[in-house]
Amino acid sequence: MDDEPERLSVAVHLEQERSVIELRGQLTATSGDLVVGVVEGELRGKAHDLVIDLVAVTDCDVSGAQALGRVRARAATAGASLTLRGLPEQASVVAPPMWFDDLLTRADRQR
């Protein structure tokens, strides 16, 4: 049995002229910084419509949720739209539920 925590993998592709950032694994303090960096790169590349696909996220702690908040703020500053898509029901979200829900409500949501 492997006790090493699951890492986050990130893939970026275009979907209907939007930059889609697919996350797979654990969204934590360390991996959250990676996501912020990827989003900043997409914004520097003049992306105007961003989608963060959370379907394959297995865990999200407070730091990971805060990283999504930083992403939302950076997108807003750049004048880009941000959609958070598909946080799976089975994901373990270790963040205050009302706070996390508020974060998702401020960004466009897709299920």
Domains of the chain: 9-110 (3.30.750.24)
Residue 23 has pLDDT above 90, yes or no: yes
Residue 24 has pLDDT above 60, yes or no: yes
Residue 89 has pLDDT above 90, yes or no: no
Lowest mean pLDDT among 5-14, 22-31, 46-55, 93-102: 93-102
The Cα–Cα gap between 111 and 104 comes to 11
pTM summary value: 0.79
Give the rounded percent of residues in the chain with a pLDDT score beyond 90: 43
The Cα–Cα gap between 105 and 38 comes to 22
Look over the chain and give the mean of its residue pLDDT values, rounded to a whole number: 81
